[in-house]
Chain A
Amino acid sequence: MSNISIAQFHKVFFEESLEGLDAMESALLALDDGGDAELVHSIFRAAHSIKGGSATFGFPDMAALTHEAESLLDQVRDGRRAIDKTIIELMLRTVDCLRGMFDRAQSGQPLANADSENLKQQLAATVGHAVPAAAAKAADKPAASSGWIIQFRPHAGMLAGGNDPLRLLRELAALGQLVVEAQLDRVPTLDALDPTECHLGWRIELTGSVKREAIAAVFEWVEDECDLSIEPLVAAAPPPAPSVEAVATPAGAGGTAGSARAAASSNDAGSVRVGIDKIDGLIDLVGELVITQAMLDQFREEFDPSRLAMLQQGLAHLARHTRSLQESVMGIRMLPIGSVFNRFPRLVRDLSQKLGKQVKLEMVGEHTELDKTVLEKIGDPLVHLVRNAIDHGLETPEKRRASGKGDTGTLRLEAFHRGGSIVVEIVDDGAGLNREAIINKALQKGLINSGDNISDEEVGELIFQPGFSTAAVTTDLSGRGVGMDVVRRNVTDLGGSVSIKSRPGHGTTFTITLPLTLAIIDGLRAAVGEECYIVPLVSIVESVQLSADAVRSVTGGGELFRFRGEYRPIVRLHQQFGCANAQQKIEDGLVIVVESDGNQVGLFVDELIGQQQAVVKSLEANYRRVEGISGATILADGSVALIIDVAGLIRLQSRRKAA
């Protein structure tokens, strides 16, 4: 049986343990805020699982550390020790240390280091005992005898507890020669007999060189459910010492560690945990597809025009199921944004302590789901914005008091759906953007030529310029060599956008808009000359047909049209992308009004062909990055259509205007 490798469970163990650590951390932070006793239980449970798992799966260093942490938590749980800042701090360090150990375990490095040993000693000292130098307990001399007399009388309820006396007798028989004598004196009369109870007793003579411990082990589970005596058969032998519980050592731990490493390193492809309901949904859909397929298959043999209606119906089913199947499969990649939000309570706590600020973190909409790829890449930008908000946005308690606000600042993270997008807002009630400082800095950096006539929106845009930083001294917290320009680029790379709104004295709001998924978009297909473009449906406001006199030309060659009371620029796609044989007169084509970040432009195209889903292929990976284009897709006839990057086109347009 030793060929069963437990290394195959390492990955699951790592995953669930890291989740456990996250849970521990958030419970510790909640305790810090004065949470209830149930939190202690959940922290204990998480530590306990990691301890059990790490011992089982061959990570003794981790088991040793969690053992000490668990002992400390046990004292808290039993009320022997009150929870205080010191313990919470110590436990948070344990969480960090274990995370490090898991990192090293996944890359096959030794788990223990000076830090972890240090922490272990500190935990042990807090618990109130030193870590034993060696786990070896003095083994008592094995008490052997040439034989034993065992008096065994089960209590009436032993059978109900699942322990069968016959099994115990068989086990004894495996140890040596048995002579068994049943004692029937307590068997009741038939009318009083309960067959689920045990009324028998046994006097057992066991001969052979058997250790007392071996016999005790047989009866280990039933000690409390029977009257038992074990006496040496030869009276001359000294009375044996009471049995000592063996110190459990993880058998084969050394042997499995090597293969564990191999398995861990060869299998680092990402995985997603999927709810059973989602899988059941998929199975249902596949079932439907199989039925539809069978229905359509009938037409392969013989096609009778009278059954045309049935064929149409079958195709309609096929279309519907394919769409549902696609949505379900995409759904598997969707994970709640809570997994990213989870890291913020700790970050906010550490940061605000370091800066001497009081911050209350509110998180809303943690269950909002996002594509796994988007989720993985949105973490860093969010961390940067949160750091920024605490470092630059929120004020110290003194400053807040001076401006008539409460000592504690509020930082709110909120995720929600809007249209086909996910919106994440980072809202603080701090001082807001410092207009003067930003304009001065921009002048100094040569980003603008004059500080006059700059709107608040434009001031907000300035901080997204490369190399911009308003802090007089770059702190080690937010000034880590990345600026807001990197945040914007990261978000834009995900097909999203980021904008800022600020009110002096009232706070700042960053709004990140992200696509639900990167893989498939809903789009409108538009013809421009001989080419075909996909305009993402989420960006489209309206399509309008304009008469020639509705368009105003402005100096520099730009065109404007009036839409809902305001003038919007027109982007002629055929000019933008150099398409031949396209409509030239505005009244012969259509203008699609699109919006991004609150800016609207009209895209001039020949005509709309229809709505369709586009499976997004990267243009950058296959060709190169093209401004105004976010990707490409294959149409049903096999030709390629480019997907319009509305935000990029609008940026291009505004740069042209500025030039």
Chain B
Amino acid sequence: MAKILAVDDSASMRGMVAFTLRSAGYDVAEADNGQAALDTAATSKFDLVLADVNMPVMDGISMVRELRTRAEYKGVPILMLTTESNTDKKMEGKAAGATGWLVKPFDPEQLLATVKRVLG
């Protein structure tokens, strides 16, 4: 089953995402900021990364930019979980190398639908 890295500084949001994905059978690792995600991503290869934008230590956009410089993460889908409905943020994420985004609030079904869409 696909391995997914869920990155969010909010434990409740991260918990919800991880729980939903695990219930669907995915193998999920968690990280609570961009830097922690980069560390985790270095030890194991993930098939999909779901990352919040606003986080302490390192935000999601910097994380994507950094992750895309690594050869093994070229082409790996990275989705931003964002409440920013303005296009600026989405485009900033895209410019940094994000694959797409999922706008909060989303419910477990929306999350799974999007993940299935990306992982095929």
Tell whether, in the assembled complex, residue A225 and residue B97 are in contact, meaning their CB atoms are under 8 Å apart. Answer: no
Tell whether, in the assembled complex, residue B74 and residue A196 are in contact, meaning their CB atoms are under 8 Å apart. Answer: yes
CB of B58 within 8 Å of the partner chain? no
Answer whether A161 and B94 are a contact pair too, CB < 8 Å, given A9-B12, A51-B83, A170-B120. Answer: yes
Q: CB-CB < 8 A to A55: which residues of B?
A: 83, 104-105
Answer whether A250 and B105 are a contact pair too, CB < 8 Å, given A1-B112, A196-B74. Answer: yes
Tell whether, in the assembled complex, residue A9 and residue B24 are in contact, meaning their CB atoms are under 8 Å apart. Answer: no
Could you mark each residue 144-176 of chain A with 1 if its beta carbon is under 8 Å from any beta carbon of chain B, else 0?
A: 000000000000000111111001001100000
Tell whether, in the assembled complex, residue A248 and residue B85 are in contact, meaning their CB atoms are under 8 Å apart. Answer: yes
Tell whether, in the assembled complex, residue A1 and residue B99 are in contact, meaning their CB atoms are under 8 Å apart. Answer: no
Could you mark each residue 51-62 of chain A with 1 if its beta carbon is under 8 Å from any beta carbon of chain B, else 0?
A: 111011100000
Q: CB-CB < 8 A to B77: which residues of A?
A: 162-163
CB of A416 within 8 Å of the partner chain? no
Tell whether, in the assembled complex, residue B12 and residue A57 are in contact, meaning their CB atoms are under 8 Å apart. Answer: yes
How many residue pairs at the A-B interface have CB separations less than 8 Å?
115
Query: Which of B95, B99, B105, B109 sits near A248, CB closer than 8 Å?
Result: B105
Tell whether, in the assembled complex, residue A12 and residue B15 are in contact, meaning their CB atoms are under 8 Å apart. Answer: yes
The complex places the Cα of A56 from the Cα of B56 at a distance, in Å, of: 20
Closest beta carbon of chain A to B15's beta carbon, Å: 5
Query: Considering residues B9, B24, B75, which has the most beta carbons from chain A within 10 angstroms of its beta carbon?
Result: B75
A66 to chain B: closest residue by CB: B83
Q: CB-CB < 8 A to B74: which residues of A?
A: 160, 196
The complex places the Cα of A252 from the Cα of B101 at a distance, in Å, of: 21
Could you mark each residue 80-91 of chain B with 1 if its beta carbon is under 8 Å from any beta carbon of chain A, else 0?
A: 000101000001
Interface size counted on chain A using CB atoms at 8 A? 42
CB of B78 within 8 Å of the partner chain? yes
Q: CB-CB < 8 A to A45: which residues of B?
A: 9, 54-56
Q: CB-CB < 8 A to A161: which residues of B?
A: 68, 75, 94, 97-99
CB of A189 within 8 Å of the partner chain? no
Q: Kindly identify, within residues 34 to 87 of chain B, every residue whose CB is under 8 Å from any CB belonging to chain A.
A: 54-56, 68, 74-78, 83, 85
Tell whether, in the assembled complex, residue B13 and residue A53 are in contact, meaning their CB atoms are under 8 Å apart. Answer: yes
Q: CB-CB < 8 A to A220: which residues of B?
A: 100
Q: CB-CB < 8 A to A245: which residues of B?
A: 85
Q: Kindly identify, within residues 1 to 26 of chain A, every residue whose CB is under 8 Å from any CB belonging to chain B.
A: 1-2, 4, 6, 8-10, 12-13, 15-16
Tell whether, in the assembled complex, residue A251 and residue B68 are in contact, meaning their CB atoms are under 8 Å apart. Answer: no
CB of A303 within 8 Å of the partner chain? no
Q: Please tell me the size bucket of the interface on B.
A: 35 or more
Q: Kindly identify, within residues 209 to 252 of chain A, every residue whose CB is under 8 Å from any CB belonging to chain B.
A: 220-221, 224-225, 245, 248, 250-252
CB of A48 within 8 Å of the partner chain? yes
Closest beta carbon of chain B to A395's beta carbon, Å: 41
Tell whether, in the assembled complex, residue B117 and residue A6 are in contact, meaning their CB atoms are under 8 Å apart. Answer: no
Query: Which of A1, A13, A57 sits near B109, CB closer than 8 Å?
Result: A1
A54 to chain B: closest residue by CB: B105
Query: Which of B11, B13, B24 sits near A52, CB closer than 8 Å?
Result: B13
CB of B19 within 8 Å of the partner chain? yes
Tell whether, in the assembled complex, residue B75 and residue A224 are in contact, meaning their CB atoms are under 8 Å apart. Answer: no
The complex places the Cα of A15 from the Cα of B68 at a distance, in Å, of: 34
Tell whether, in the assembled complex, residue B15 and residue A9 are in contact, meaning their CB atoms are under 8 Å apart. Answer: yes
A42 to chain B: closest residue by CB: B56
Tell whether, in the assembled complex, residue B10 and residue A162 are in contact, meaning their CB atoms are under 8 Å apart. Answer: no
Tell whether, in the assembled complex, residue A248 and residue B103 are in contact, meaning their CB atoms are under 8 Å apart. Answer: yes
The complex places the Cα of A167 from the Cα of B9 at a distance, in Å, of: 30
Tell whether, in the assembled complex, residue A52 and residue B104 are in contact, meaning their CB atoms are under 8 Å apart. Answer: yes
Q: CB-CB < 8 A to B20: which residues of A?
A: 1, 4
A11 to chain B: closest residue by CB: B12
Q: CB-CB < 8 A to A162: which residues of B?
A: 75-78, 97-100, 118
Q: CB-CB < 8 A to B11: which residues of A?
A: 12, 15-16
The complex places the Cα of A430 from the Cα of B19 at a distance, in Å, of: 55
A44 to chain B: closest residue by CB: B54
Tell whether, in the assembled complex, residue B106 and residue A56 are in contact, meaning their CB atoms are under 8 Å apart. Answer: yes
Tell whether, in the assembled complex, residue A49 and residue B9 are in contact, meaning their CB atoms are under 8 Å apart. Answer: yes
The complex places the Cα of A430 from the Cα of B56 at a distance, in Å, of: 40
Tell whether, in the assembled complex, residue B83 and residue A52 are in contact, meaning their CB atoms are under 8 Å apart. Answer: yes
Tell whether, in the assembled complex, residue A13 and residue B99 are in contact, meaning their CB atoms are under 8 Å apart. Answer: no
Tell whether, in the assembled complex, residue B104 and residue A56 are in contact, meaning their CB atoms are under 8 Å apart. Answer: yes
The complex places the Cα of A196 from the Cα of B76 at a distance, in Å, of: 12
Query: Considering residues A9, A51, A252, which has the most beta carbons from chain B within 10 angstroms of its beta carbon?
Result: A9
The complex places the Cα of A12 from the Cα of B11 at a distance, in Å, of: 7
Q: Which 7 A-B pairs have the closest CB atoms?
A: A162-B99, A221-B100, A13-B12, A55-B105, A162-B77, A56-B105, A12-B12
Residues of B within 8 A of A (CB): 9-13, 15-16, 19-20, 23-24, 54-56, 68, 74-78, 83, 85, 91, 94-95, 97-101, 103-110, 112, 117-118, 120
**Could you pull out 15 A-B pairs where Cβ atoms are within 8 angstroms?**
A1-B109, A6-B16, A8-B19, A12-B11, A12-B15, A13-B10, A16-B11, A53-B10, A56-B105, A63-B105, A159-B75, A163-B77, A171-B117, A221-B94, A248-B85
**Given A13-B10, A45-B54, A170-B120, list of 6 further CB < 8 A pairs?**
A4-B20, A49-B54, A160-B68, A160-B97, A221-B94, A250-B105
